[in-house]
Amino acid sequence: MDQCAVDVCQQFLGILKVERRLSLNTLKAYTRDLAQLAMYCDEQNIAIWDELDSHHMRRFIAQRHRKGLGSRSLQRELSACRSFFDYLIKTKQLLNNPAAGIRAPKAAKPLPHVLDVDQVNALLDVEPSDALEVRDIAMWEVLYSSGLRVSELANVNLMDIDLSAKSILVVSGKGQKSRLLPLGGKAIKAIKTWLGVRSGQFKTDEMALFVGKTGRRLTTRNIQSRLERWRKRYGLQGRLYPHMLRHSFASHMLESSQDLRAVQELLGHSNISTTQVYTHLDFQHLASVYDKSHPRAKQKKTS
């Protein structure tokens, strides 16, 4: 680019420093981002800023993406460019902002972390050592049996459980929607054991199904802390948090049933696209089985 264009860029950075009082790190980021844009302009033989159009900007972002820049970094570069072009428009050096309306590629959503069936069994097939552990096992069983969110588990009341019908009513789900969910045999057994302990050792007027030492309803934070304590006590490896049991429930149900709509209803997802993330997990499982089982899936070692 010609020297005049470079000087305008320096003027803009000076204004950011003096008038907007941006932090040193932010200023360094703006400087790097605009330097990348200037280098691209040199490659395209663009001498002055008003020769740059939206097609150039799209190609610039695509080029940066191909070089390995992530979505957040690209969004930051676009933000720096837009701010610079707005300055050029304000100072009547540019008519339109060539970066307006251009978006960075969306970041890929990470797949949920799930436990395999053996890990779930290791978590749940533990002999409780006290009343609180009886309660904990019942909580983990309900999370895995019915795919509840931790906030939904904390809000379950005694009247929401129907052991004869083998069901649990979730009345405060996400979006304030209610859904009736089945309870598995292991969860029912764990709840019955807990109810016996609850009535004997936790005499309280609290309507919550799961209460603490004081007889009051557990918070989501209480439940999270107990699960982490459980993980450490019983030597379970890796991360463990309540939502992993919900993810595991969904993944295992889909893997066995292949019924995406049913899993959507059980999870309480309003949009099936939210549930579809578990199809990726299912494919990973299938691909793993394929790699281990297919006679021509692995390349033979060459000497």
The residues carrying an active-site annotation are: 149, 174, 243, 246, 269, 278
HEC string for 55-107: HHHHHHHHHHHHCCCCHHHHHHHHHHHHHHHHHHHHCCCCCCCCCCCCCCCCC
**Rg of the chain taking only CA atoms, in angstroms:** 28
Q: Residue 227: which of 216, 213, 238, 214 has the closest Cα?
A: 238
Instruction: Report how far residue 1's alpha carbon sits from residue 103's, in angstroms, rounded to the nearest whole number.
Output: 25
Asked if 57 and 81 touch (Cβ cutoff 8 Å), the reply is yes
Instruction: Report how far residue 16's alpha carbon sits from residue 18's, in angstroms, rounded to the nearest whole number.
Output: 6
CB proximity list for 53: less than 8 A, separation 6 or greater: 98
Question: DSSP 3-state assignment of 61?
Answer: helix
Asked if 192 and 163 touch (Cβ cutoff 8 Å), the reply is yes
